[in-house]
Structure 1
Amino acid sequence: MEYKVLDVAFSGLMHDIGKFYQRTKMVSDLTEREKLVTPMAKAGYYTHLHSGYTSRFFHEYLGMDNELEMITSSHHIDDQRPLAKILRKADQIASSIDRKDEEKDYEENNKKGTFQQVRLSSVVHEVDFGKQKALATYPLRPFHKMGYPTVDFEMTDKNESVGEYLGLFQAFINDLKSEDYFTSEVDKYCFDRLYALMYEYTTLVPASTYEGSKTYVSLFDHSKLTSAIASCLYLNDTEDENFIMFEFDVSGIQKFIFKVTEGKDTKRDVAKSLRGRSFLVSAITNIITYSYLYEFGLTQSNIIFNTGGGALLLLPKCKNFEEKLNKVTQKVQEILLDKFSVDINYVYAWVECDRKELETFKISKATKLKSKLDEEKNRKFNKVLNSDFFFNKPKSNYVCKMCGTNFVEKENDTCDICKTIIEISDFCIKHDDFFLVYDFNRRLDDQVSDCIKIDMGYMDFYLISKEDYPLIINKYDYIESLNQSHLGNTRLIANLVPKKNDRIIPFENMVINLVDTSYGDPKLGILKMDVDNLGAIFAFGMEKQRSLSKFLTLSRMMENFFGHELMNICVEVSKKMNSNISQFSNNESMFYINYAGGDDLVIMGPASGILELSKVINERFSEYTLNKNITISGGITIQSPSAPIRFGIKEAEEYLNQSKALDGKNGITLIHTSCKMNEYEQVLQQVNVFRKYITNQDISRTNFYNMMKVLDVENMEKYYRNIPILLYSLKRNVKNKDVRQDLISKISMANMNCDQLKKLVLEMKLAIMQTRG
């Protein structure tokens, strides 16, 4: 048979589905026909029994009984047909770490073994820089119910374990049967539907379970990587097992997102614009990703990771691959320049890997790729430099009132890009989950009604509602499901903003209405956080036993925290801060998630809520990783809700950098003061104590403010000089002996140093802010 890349990718994706099926059985019940696709050991018994269950799955649920099914199922048999050789090589490369595990998959082990009882261990445990960590395990469940790993996992008996697998597998089959679009051939819908269902139901299923209780790679990630490698081997011009690791990095993200002119004519749409711009940047990253995959004819399996600002792809080492890269780059960069001027662009780099280097993603290759990417950042506009690059004749005398850059035909008008950005924001508010469609062949014109369309010159990008989903089957090139696992790639985006009657609540109303009035001054808080040393974690954190599969799984775990768990945390803190939040916010959130990507976030909300939220995010992240080698840092800006957001973001970024300058990082900085996260909780506790003293009138707010001013000094010499003045003031103005003694102990603590004094002043400033009318 002649096969397409799609057939090869599908074969790689589904080759081990039999492992999932097999674990629903107490003992093997393969038929003689199904045993034909499993190898026979020299001792006379069948091995790799999961192959037979792969065959059964194809027959029972996909209606496929052809050569493609036979080759996919028999991938452990020495078959010399071209596709069979490709699939066997791909499987061996993808599972190089646990290859010996499958040798134990034979009938005797199937009867007495515990392979159904082992659960997926958190791959985060593999990150090791010498600090404390705990081995954690995920229960067997769908991905959208992933939650947090547990350290007290107890292996259930075999009957119960098989029952858990059977329940999950049946949910998978029920979902598979819910739509009748399948044919006996592999088409785009067939691939994308199975890809999404595999993501949902096998991300928490371990790929291998015979070698013991520690298994870190999910069945989905092993299958996805096998699919990617098989596609590359198929497209390579020779049988050489060489590959291209291709990475790109988008620049100008912060500048573009916060390129909003804030004035009386735009005030109403500032929040919408920020949200739409953040989403558009993420979409541009995806458009670049799929542009390269489309040129090579590859599927989404070849995306190793994709964050809001870049991606790593696995490409084939074919003769004309550089020509293809240049062709795509020229096309994409020209359209980005036309639409976004120099605000948004990207650079890329690539390295060639042989089989061994790919299996472990060798450190030297990873660092070389990063080094080349950094070099390219100095030449990012090289491919689009021409006579018009440095000077463009103005198209009119007016510029857009929203971005202040693009030309418009009349005064106080909005440019097409900013109009689209507002439309995107409105669409995201209206729909909690929807589809992103990438149409390189322009097949969807006038096919759908409830959508947003962006013409990228060489392709069309759509946001499409669930209602129009049946109209697009097999009429697209790539598709992504937003916050659901239905079709194609599943993308998790923290789609959460305070809403009332399907409208984003403005920042001024947010700080007044969404938080309890007892928290004082209605200021806006801006929080920026990201994971410490993430580059080092991926490059060196799993040095002892590296594999590309583990990188896939680790990237997915990070995406789940920032794209999904973060929303739960925001709602939890909102309810804690305001028990009546549901009366003012339809989604029970007081927080505006501007963006949350693979490892970072920007969130706005009432200042008192942001103070608490940053603490809880750190706590939940620690519970999620259970590994002190992986930490998070943050910066907080507190400002008037009417002040320009872009300036507040810039300050939060500067504060974040100060936190990362702390020894060991894992810090938080606000109001020019940095502290470690483990000290920050004590800071907030002390703020509440001071608030109580003021609200109970144990000390007047004026006296407390004056005490703070006296303590807010540049050096310790001035502090020591002011202590007698403070003690006298406390003696005279604080009648409650317990309160007075507590304040005396705080301001005259033995061995007080400069950092401790700064923290004390910070606590007092926050208490003052939270008691101001």
Structure 2
Amino acid sequence: MTEFDKFAEKAKGIHRLGILRMDVDNLGEIFVRGFDFLGSCDKQMGSLSRIATMSRQLNIFFSGYLNIIIQELNHKINDEKVQIIYSGGDDLFIIGSWDEIPELANIIQERFKEYCCHNPYFTLSAGISMVTGKYPIYHAAMLAGRDESRAKAIGEIFSDNQSPAQTDQTNQKNALCFMDTVIGWEDYKDVLKIKNLIEEIVNETNHRAIIEKLNTVVYSVNMFEKTKKSEKYSFDKIYELVCFQKWRWQLIYNLHRMSSKYSDDTIAQIKKLQSIILNLNNNTRLPVLSWLEMPVRWADFLTRKEGKTSDE
């Protein structure tokens, strides 16, 4: 068994290797246009010495401080489940047990914000792919790189009231792509909250019905995306019919039917889950329905038995 196989075997739920790639957003713009790119300045800020200093400081984070973050994580879980393949300059490439990778990515972007004194123009985008332990790492890195590019293209995804042209520069990237789904980092805690609730309900009921019900909603959303591309109907009409009507009543109906079969505590959790999903829709960068698949699949993979899953 190779070291990569061991990472996959240690994973909770399905046995998969997680591949993480992250890099700094808009760094090329900063180098080409100087620090004036970061906002209005009364004087020219983009001197060579300032650019060189910034480059050194970024390298310190990726080639030095990142090792401390990894050590802290492995110490916390009392096991070695993640490993740096490459880090330096302005990017990183990490492998490990898939279940540890999303939270690691979140920790890295949070620490990076602190390191940059919460400057809104210094952000990270990340892509996470999942493969078997025997999958060629070179190809897995390409998959993660593709997902990283999708995260950086978050500004192109339709939002309720904003188009990419209307969106602030700092909201164009600063995102994560995981489970083939893109979210802004500010919505990560909401995704985690939904995932944890789903996982708790599955474990308490010893049944996967909650995932099946939510997958029905996810399927409706995916059908909407396909119909939208058909151009047979106006975009606004389809969005109104599918996003704001069908998925809502379908969610309420499915969860209500399910809740009648379980204990009061489980019913309370199901109602809490329903409330969170419905109430979040107008308070996230992208509509909840555009990323609901992420927490559903995440909880699904965490609670599956390896023998019941197919290769991803």
> Shorter-chain TM-score: what band?
0.7 to 0.9
State the partner residue of 2:81.
590
Q: Do the aligned partners of 2:127 and 2:148 also contact (CA within 8 Å) in 1?
A: yes
Deviation (angstroms), 1:725: 4.0
SS of the equivalent of 1:529 reads strand
Rounded to whole Å, the distance in 2 between the matches of 1:606 and 1:757 is 28
Q: From 111, 120, 125, give the equivalent of 1:628.
A: 120
CA distance in 2, matches of 1:729, 1:649: 42
Equivalent in the alignment of 1:613: 104
**2:217: which partner in 1?**
711
What pairs up with 1:565-604 in 2 under 5 angstroms?
Answer: 565-576=65-76, 578=77, 580-581=78-79, 589-604=80-95
Aligned residue for 1:739? 269
Return the letter of the residue paired with 2:109: N
Decide whether the 8 Å contact of 2:19 with 2:96 is kept in 1. Answer: yes
Q: Is the 8 A contact 1:574 1:609 kept in 2?
A: no
Specify every segment of 5 or more residues in structure 2 that has no aligned partner in the other structure, as ranges: 37-43, 156-171, 225-241, 306-312
C-alpha contact (below 8 Å) 1:512/1:522 kept by paired residues: yes
Instruction: Work out whether 1:658 is the aligned partner of 2:150.
Output: yes
Q: SS state of the match for residue 740, structure 1?
A: helix
Deviation of 1:748 (Å): 4.4
SS at match of 2:260: helix
Which has more helix, going by share of residues? 2
Structure 1 equivalent of residue 191 of structure 2 = 683
Q: Which residue of 1 aligns with 2:46?
A: 546
> Are positions 1:640 and 2:132 aligned together?
yes
Structure 1 residue identity aligned to 2:111 = R
- Give, in whole Å, the separation in 1 of the partners of 2:204 and 2:102: 22
Residues 60-107 of structure 1 show CA distances to partners (whole Å, capped at 9, x for unaligned) of xxxxxxxxxxxxxxxxxxxxxxxxxxxxxxxxxxxxxxxxxxxxxxxx
Tell me the residue number matched to 2:290.
758
Letter in 1 for 2:101: I
- Matched residue SS, 2:6: helix
Change in 2 beyond 3 A, CA 1:750/1:539: closer
Alpha carbons of structure 1 residues 688 and 541: separation in structure 2 relative to 1, 3 Å: farther
Q: Distance between the aligned counterparts of 1:541 and 1:564, measured in 2?
A: 25
- Give 1:640 deviation, angstroms: 2.0
Q: Is the 8 A contact 1:734 1:740 kept in 2?
A: no
Identify the match of residue 771 of structure 1 among 279, 303, 306: 303
Contact in 1 for aligned 2:194/2:273 (Cα 8 Å): no
Q: Distance in 2 between matches of 1:650 and 1:598?
A: 19
- Which gives a bigger RCO, structure 1 or 2 (Cα 8 Å, sep 6+)? 2
Contact 2:19 2:93 in 1 (8 A): yes
**Structure 1 residue 529: Cα displacement:** 0.5
Q: What is the TM-score of this pair, normalised by structure 1?
A: 0.31
Does structure 1 conserve the Cα–Cα contact (< 8 Å) formed by 2:198 and 2:211?
no
What is the rounded CA distance, in whole Å, between the counterparts of 2:261 and 2:131 in structure 1?
31
Q: Give the equivalent residue in structure 2 for 1:701.
A: 207
1:729 to 245, 253, 257: 257
Q: Does 1:532 align with 2:32?
A: no
1:557 aligns with 2:57: yes
- Aligned pair in 2 of structure 1 residues 570, 721: CA closer, same or farther (>3 Å)? same
Equivalent positions of 1:233-632 (< 5 A) are 268=2, 506-513=3-10, 519-543=12-36, 544-576=44-76, 578=77, 580-581=78-79, 589-626=80-117, 627-632=119-124
CA shift, 1:721, in A, is 6.1
Q: Does the 8 Å contact 1:526/1:637 carry over to 2?
A: yes
The size of the alignment, in residue pairs, is: 255
Q: Distance in 2 between matches of 1:593 and 1:552?
A: 25
CA distances 1:447-472 after superposition (whole Å, capped 9, x unpaired):
xxxxxxxxxxxxxxxxxxxxxxxxxx
Distance across 2 between alignment mates of 1:625 and 1:657:
23
Distance 1:527 1:590 in 2: 13
Instruction: For 1:762 and 1:677, locate their aligned partners in 2 and report how far apart those are by CA, in whole Å.
Output: 13
Alpha-carbon distance between aligned partners in 1 of 2:255 and 2:107, rounded to the nearest angstrom: 36
Give the superposition deviation at 1:751: 5.4
**Where does the alignment leave 5 or more consecutive residues of structure 1 unmatched?**
1-266, 269-505, 582-588
1:745 aligned partner, one-letter code:
S
CA gap of 1:725–1:647, structure 2 versus 1, over 3 A, is farther
**Deviation, structure 1 residue 749:** 4.3
Deviation at 1:738, TM superposition (A): 1.3
Instruction: Tell me: CA distance 1:744–1:686, structure 2 relative to 1, closer, same or farther (3 Å).
Output: closer
The share of aligned pairs that are identical, in percent, is 29
Helix, strand or coil at the partner of 2:45: coil
Aligned equivalents of 1:555 and 1:623: distance in 2? 17
Letter in 1 for 2:257: S
The Cα shift of 1:633 comes to 0.4
Pairwise CA distance, 1:722: 2.8
Kindly indicate whether the alpha-carbon contact (under 8 Å) linking 1:701 and 1:768 is maintained by their aligned counterparts in 2: no
Kindly provide the amino acid, as one letter, of the partner of residue 680 in structure 1.
Y
Deviations 1:480-529 (A, max 9, x none): xxxxxxxxxxxxxxxxxxxxxxxxxx11112334x6xxx32222111111
- After TM superposition, give the deviation of residue 533 of structure 1 in Å: 0.7
Q: Is the 8 A contact 1:637 1:648 kept in 2?
A: yes
Task: Work out whether residues 615 and 681 of structure 1, in 8 Å CA contact, stay in contact via their aligned partners in 2.
Answer: no
Aligned partners of 1:657, 1:740: CA distance in 2, in Å?
35
**Paired residues for 1:178-197 under 5 Å:** none
CA distance in 2, matches of 1:647, 1:701: 35
Distance 1:572 1:599 in 2: 21
744 and 554 in structure 1: CA distance in 2 versus 1, 3 angstrom threshold: closer
Q: What is the CA-CA distance between 1:771 and the residue it aligns to?
A: 1.8
Return the offset for 1:742: 1.1
Q: Which amino acid aligns with 2:263?
A: K
1:734–1:743 distance in 2 versus 1, CA, 3 Å: farther
**CA distance 1:668–1:599, shift in 2 (3 Å):** same
1:751–1:631 distance in 2 versus 1, CA, 3 Å: closer
In 2, the alpha carbon distance for the partners of 1:739 and 1:763 equals 16
Q: Distance in 2 between matches of 1:546 and 1:750?
A: 41
* Aligned residues of 1:524 and 1:606 also touching (Cα < 8 A): yes
- Is the 1:636–1:655 Cα contact (8 Å) retained in structure 2? yes
Mapped to 1, the partners of 2:149 and 2:203 lie a distance apart of 35
2-structure distance, mates of 1:662, 1:767: 23
Aligned-pair Cα RMSD in Å? 2.4
Deviations, residues 372-423 of structure 1 (Å, cap 9, x unaligned): xxxxxxxxxxxxxxxxxxxxxxxxxxxxxxxxxxxxxxxxxxxxxxxxxxxx
What is the TM-score of this pair, normalised by structure 2?
0.74
